[in-house]
Structures are given as C-alpha cells and as structure tokens.
Amino acid sequence: MRPEFGHGSSSATDRRLNALLRHLSSSSSPMDSRDSISASPTSGFQNDSVFSHVVRGPEDPILGVTVAYNKDPSPNKLNLGVGAYRTEEGKPLVLNVVRKAEQQLVNDRSRIKEYLPIVGLAEFNKLSAKLIFGADSPAIRENRITTVQCLSGTGSLRVGAEFLAKHYHQRTIYIPLPTWGNHTKVFNLAGLSVKSYRYYDPATRGLNFQGLLEDLGSAPSGAIVLLHACAHNPTGVDPTLDQWERIRQLMRSKGLLPFFDSAYQGFASGSLDADAQSVRMFVADGGECLAAQSYAKNMGLYGERVGALSIVCKTADVASRVESQLKLVIRPMYSNPPIHGASIVAAILRDRNLYNEWTIELKAMADRIISMRHQLSDALRARSTPGDWSHIIKQIGMFTFTGLNSKQVAFMTKEYHIYMTSDGRISMAGLSSKTVPHLADAIHAAVTRVV
C-alpha cells in the first residue's frame, strides 16, 4: 500500500502527491527499446553550433584590468584600475552604517519580498531627489521632478537615454573628451548620436575651459550635453563654481539640455551639498535637466546596483506625463528594480542618526583619498621625478589622470606589476601608505626610461 500524505487522501493536494509518487515509481522501469531516444547529443542537429560565427569580444577596457591583475601571480601586484573604494589594508569596505541599516531590515518581520512598482521604492525616490537637489528645492516643492529607481548609475543613464531617444526632439548628445568609457556605449545603444566637446587639457593636466565653451557654443540648439556633477571620471578635473555658472549661462542661452551624471556625491569633497552645487545651479534657474544618481561609491553599495534617474520639468503636469513614459521604458527592459539596496538607502536617508553616521564615514573615505594624493605627490617630489605633478593634488575624487602614456603604463605593468587603464588613469582609492612608495618608484622609472 502506498503511503498517504496528510490526514486524508481526498484533498486535491493529496491526490496530486499520490499521482506524482505513482509517476516516479513507474518511470523507474526500463524503457521499451522501441520508445527509446538516441543519447547522441547531436541527434537531429548539425555538429556545428549555430553560433560558430561569433568572434570573441574584447575585454572591457576597465573591467579587463582586474581580469589581468587576477592572473598575475606576483606578490607585489597592485590594482589601480578598479573604481571601488579600498581600505588602508587594500580590502573592500562595507560601511558600518550600511550594516546597521541592513540589520534593521533583516529584523523587521513585516518586510516582504513582493515586486516593487515599475518606478521603484517611493520613499527611496523621494529621499534621493532631496539628496541631490536639496530639501528646500523649489522644483521638489512644486512637484516638477519625477524620480525613478534604476539599476545604479549605468541603468539610470540608459533609462534616461532611451526616454530621450524616443521623446526628445534632438537625438545628439555631447559628452566630454575624455569621459567614462561606458558613456559612449550607453548612449549609442539607446539610439542617440554621440559627439564630444573638449574638456581635458593634456598640457596643463587641467580643464580646457575655452575649448569647452567653444564646442558647446557651436553645438546645435537643443542638443543634449552630458555633465559630470563632480569628480570627473577619468580626469578628476572639475570646473570652478564661476566656470559652472558660465557653462550654465551658455547652455541656457542655446537651449542645450543638461544631463548630469552624479556618481560621486559626497565622495569627492566629503560634503554632500558641495558636490551637488553644479546640479542645483541648473535647477535654480527654473530650467529643465536630467540627473542620474548612483549609490555605489558614496554608500559602498556597488553590487546592490542602487541608482535613480530624475527629470526636472517645467510643470507638475509635464513631470507626471514624463513619468508615465519612463514606466514604458523600464517595463520591457527589466520590469521593476530590486528592493534590498534601495531599502538600505532609504533607511539611512530617513533616520537622522544613521544619516549623520553616514556623512562621517563618507568624509573619512574622501579624506583618505585626499591623503593618498598628498602622499603620492610627496613621494614623487622626494625622488625628483621629472615633470610637474601638482595636478595629483589639484584633481579631485576617486581618480587621477596621471598623464602617463600607454607605453609607460605597459612598462609599469610589466616591470612593477601595477595595473591601470591604458590612458594613465589610476584609482587613488586603491592606494595605501604601504603601496605609495612602490607606485612612486614605478612612475619615476616609467618617465625616465620610457618616452
């Protein structure tokens, strides 16, 4: 007799389980040879894969640095390519405040795992807008901003780009030269035409402000312009507030649409408000703009993929209609965003004590990076390394554009096992007091031995 499940076999559940047991028992008997199917994995198919024509794609120029680093057996190897914070011991950091917020979430038995709405966690969106635009922003008070939760900064840029490609009259976006390597791909694949404007001056290792003004001045009216809100990646070169004001006046006079990429708010200077000043300038004049936010760096939530896209509109009615169209972009792309990371951010931003603790930890990270800049500058000066290295201190944020060329970078990788992108960008967050002398030795050797 077969065992029965539960208290009786009359329920639908019991009948299904009994049927399953009978099926499993009967399926264990040998198959009739006439009904057997050939075990050959290629039976009925050609031996060649339908994807045989696919060529191997190149490694991502940034993420590929880490791939090469991981393959290097040298005990002295140093990875300065990754855009992620590291402690003085070279270890990844989870902020204490993040652990506290996460523990609160875990202990809350009322939390569920249901789908979020298409636009994401409402509280997260509201608090994210306040963080970047300011709690007293007139645009927030007037409900002229629509904010949607996206998959970190990259996803926020892509959703914004898809929306613009479908609903904006200009399909050309101007990006700084150089810029983060993924920008071109994100905008191109979304259907925008990508052009560049001068930004970095290799001679001064600073901002080519005159070239920037000339290029934006000759851009067609209404073109989209990508702006790094702070801590420009890869150069670490930012406009001054006066220069930002001139950029704002020029862009508004030509009707250019600003699209801010804010990946480092609070991570550059240590001040959340200071690092948002450029964005707030453009919102204060009543004009429209877009802003993509990421919490990867400033909360260390890299793998949680937490971000937001905000679009500042002229009226609340327009903002509402824009949001309805953003939903139509997001739904077939990834349907709705994940809940965990956004809940961590919301918990920190809503709680005064957690928020204050976050600002302290955030400033500590920013200060350590600034300290690394000074230590590297001092080490190069002590070695009398040829050239002017003052830009290391003048630049801001996670990255420094060293000015080293690709041959010098290759030399440092081969001889000193130091890994960075071929354009000479290094992550200051990947340095420590122990590794600064090794990097300074490598830079000194590279500039004296490799042209």
Q: pLDDT tens, 110-120?
A: 999 999 999 99
Q: Please report which confidence band the pLDDT of residue 8 belongs to, taking 50, 70 and 90 as the band edges.
A: very low
Options 100, 215, 238, 261, the catalytic residue: 261
**pLDDT (tens digit per residue) in 229-272:** 999 999 999 999 999 999 999 999 999 999 999 999 998 999 99
Average pLDDT, the chain: 91
**pLDDT average, residue stretch 355-368:** 96
25, pLDDT greater than 90: no
pLDDT at position 1 is 45
Active site residue 358: no
Indicate the pLDDT class of residue 47, thresholds 50, 70 and 90: confident
Residue 31: pLDDT band by 50, 70, 90 thresholds? very low
Q: Return the closest-CA partner of residue 197 out of 242, 228, 166.
A: 228
Q: Is the pLDDT of residue 389 over 50?
A: yes
The band of 194, judged by pLDDT with boundaries at 50, 70 and 90, is: very high
The pLDDT of residue 37: 45
- Kindly state the average pLDDT of the residues 268-287: 96
**Mean pLDDT along residues 281-293:** 97
> Average pLDDT of 186-204?
96
pLDDT digits (tens, 9 = 90+) for 288-341: 999 999 999 999 999 999 999 999 999 999 999 999 999 999 999 999 999 999
The proportion of the chain whose per-residue pLDDT surpasses 70, expressed as a percent, equals: 90
Residue 135 CB coordination number (10 Å): 10
- For the entire predicted model, the pTM comes to 0.86
Residue 24 has pLDDT above 80, yes or no: no
- What domains can be seen in the chain, in order of their start residue? 63-94+355-449 (3.90.1150.10), 115-350 (3.40.640.10)
Is residue 2 over pLDDT 90?
no
pLDDT in tens, 200-231: 999 999 999 999 999 999 999 999 999 999 99
pLDDT band at 137 (very low <50, low <70, confident <90, very high): very high
| From 180, 238, 389, 441, the catalytic residue | 180
pLDDT of residue 390 exceeding 80: yes
Instruction: Say whether 297 is catalytic.
Output: yes
Which residue would you say has higher pLDDT here, 136 or 60?
A: 136
Please report the pLDDT score of residue 246 as a whole number: 98
Judge whether residue 35 has pLDDT over 60.
no
Is the pLDDT score of 30 beyond 60? Answer: no
Whether the CB-CB separation of 201 and 235 falls below 8 Å is answered with no
Examine the pLDDT at 344 and tell me if it is beyond 50.
yes
Task: Write down the pLDDT at residue 12.
Answer: 61
Q: Is residue 388 annotated as part of the catalytic site, yes or no?
A: no
Least confident segment among 6-10, 20-24, 291-295: 6-10
pLDDT value of residue 3: 44
Q: Check residue 14 and give its pLDDT.
A: 65
Q: What is the mean pLDDT of residues 13-21?
A: 61
- 119-131: average pLDDT: 98
Q: What are the tens digits of pLDDT across the range 63-82?
A: 788 888 899 999 999 999 87
Point out the catalytic residue in the list 297, 358, 389, 441. 297
Percent of the chain topping pLDDT 90:
81
pLDDT above 80: residue 13:
no
